[in-house]
Amino acid sequence: MKIKTIEPFILHLPLTSDSISDSTHSITHWAVVGAAITTDDGLTGYGFTGTHAHLASDRLITACIRDCYAPLLIDEDASDISRLWTKLARYPSLQWVGRAGITQLALAAVDVALWDLKSKKAGLPLWSYLGGARTEKLEAYNTDIGWLSFSRDELIAGATRAVEDEGFTRIKVKVGHDDPNADVVRLAALRARLGPDVRIAIDGNGKWDLPTCQRFCERARDLDIYWFEEPLWYDDVGSHAVLARNTSIPIALGEQLYTVDAFRSFIEARAVAYVQPDVTRLGGITEYIQVADLALANRLPVVPHAGEMSQVHVHLSYWHPASTILEYIPWIKDHFEEPANVREGVYLRPQQPGASTTPLAASFERYGKSLS
């Protein structure tokens, strides 16, 4: 499996609604920024990271793939993923400027493409290649009903539809108004409408400070919140540890953490209950497995963040024993040869060889962006 070509690409895919906001971001498109790696036996693997479709920074990622990583990969054996990961991640000049941000997002894309290639070569879906399924049913939770930009009525109508018509028993709702009481009122109305059996997680996207979070958690104590995701600034281990000690609501985080070392800091500080790695932010599947193993050794559940909208995490969650449930956001799935689909609140288990990362030719044609 000698690597012959590495072709970066950028797709800007429209959301299923015109735009959405959480406490920190407002977006109209999700970007699939990645690489197609072709070997001398004619196979092509696809891997990508996920961004907010900001073309200038997307081009920094593809430039890193094309100019920094590709020369290190040409004529290498694609099946040596561990060795190639180390070659890229620990290449001295890139390590100097990297270990997070653009270089790590680019590494994620390359690593996922290598795993896609290797499982395609084996003729197996990635979950099967990695060791087989841990469960028959991987439950999904729906994030797409809960944006902060939705009015209270829209939130309740969407959540009700997801539960009563589509079979979801788990949802996630964004919080982060300037006045946290506004979030408590929304959540109380939602809980009253849905009843006690639906699992409701919330997500603050890192906006509030510690006193605001503590005040909010006190007021939300009786709403049976499943977890509070990213309550505080992403890198602030100490404040998360204080909050975790002072509230009965479990803390979830990880979507903004770039390394296994960052996860270890939060876990050692007992600052996280639900571990949320993302292959598109870590150095791909290779580093995701390290984080999932770390969580397993600490008896913590893994609930990936869907930066690739679960195309890859559906495989990892069907396989890795620390996995529990998986996020569902249906924005980009129909742009892939094997979409990450959910029926009655359960993810369909992928059947095609590979990591479900091959985009449709029509999507390249319609939504592809130039690299310069």
Read off the tokens for 29: 């498109």
In the region spanning residues 341 to 370, those forming contacts with Mg ion, defined by CB under 5 A, are: none
- Separation of alpha carbons 21 and 147, rounded Å: 6
Read off the tokens for 128: 């099967």
Q: How far is the CB of 306 from Mg ion (least distance, A)?
A: 9
| Alpha carbon 336 to its chain's center | 17
Residues contacting Mg ion: total by CB under 5 A: 2
Contact between residue 268 and residue 249 where contact means Cβ atoms under 8 Å apart: no
Our CB check for Mg ion shows the closer of 50 and 125 to be: 50
Instruction: Give yes or no for residue 203 binding Mg ion (CB under 5 A).
Output: yes
Q: Phi-psi category of 267—alpha, beta or left, where left has phi over 0 and alpha has psi -120 to 50?
A: alpha
Instruction: Give yes or no for residue 144 binding Mg ion (CB under 5 A).
Output: no
Residue 255 has what DSSP assignment?
A: T
Q: How far is the CB of 204 from Mg ion (least distance, A)?
A: 8
Residue number closest to Mg ion, CB atom: 203
Q: How far is the CB of 369 from Mg ion (least distance, A)?
A: 25
Instruction: Give yes or no for residue 22 binding Mg ion (CB under 5 A).
Output: no
Which stretch in 184-192, 221-229, 290-298, 320-328 sits in contact with Mg ion by CB under 5 A? Answer: 221-229
Query: What DSSP assignment string belongs to 219-244?
Result: HTGGG-EEEEES-S-TT-HHHHHHHH
Read off the tokens for 181: 């009481």
Our CB check for Mg ion shows the closer of 263 and 367 to be: 263
Contact between residue 313 and residue 112 where contact means Cβ atoms under 8 Å apart: no
Helix (H, G, I), strand (E, B) or coil at 30: strand
Q: How far is the CB of 247 from Mg ion (least distance, A)?
A: 18
Residues 6+ apart with CB under 8 A from 97: 103
Q: How far is the CB of 203 from Mg ion (least distance, A)?
A: 4
Our CB check for Mg ion shows the closer of 144 and 229 to be: 229
CA angle 107/347/365 to nearest 5° reads 55
Our CB check for Mg ion shows the closer of 175 and 190 to be: 175
Our CB check for Mg ion shows the closer of 89 and 300 to be: 300
Strands (E) located in the chain: 3-14, 20-21, 26-27, 29-39, 44-51, 138-142, 170-174, 199-203, 225-229, 251-253, 274-275, 326-328, 342-343, 346-347
Q: How far is the CB of 255 from Mg ion (least distance, A)?
A: 5
Q: How far is the CB of 155 from Mg ion (least distance, A)?
A: 16
Our CB check for Mg ion shows the closer of 183 and 229 to be: 229
Q: How far is the CB of 252 from Mg ion (least distance, A)?
A: 8
Q: How far is the CB of 281 from Mg ion (least distance, A)?
A: 11
**CA nearest neighbour of 243 among 207, 277, 218, 268:** 218
Binding-residue pattern over the window 222 to 261 for Mg ion, x denoting contact by CB under 5 A? -------x--------------------------------
Residue 350 has what DSSP assignment?
A: P
Our CB check for Mg ion shows the closer of 139 and 203 to be: 203
Read off the tokens for 352: 């095609």
Which stretch in 44-52, 198-206, 279-287, 337-345 sits in contact with Mg ion by CB under 5 A? Answer: 198-206
Which stretch in 35-43, 197-205, 259-267, 287-295 sits in contact with Mg ion by CB under 5 A? Answer: 197-205
Q: Which residues bind Mg ion (CB under 5 A)?
A: 203, 229
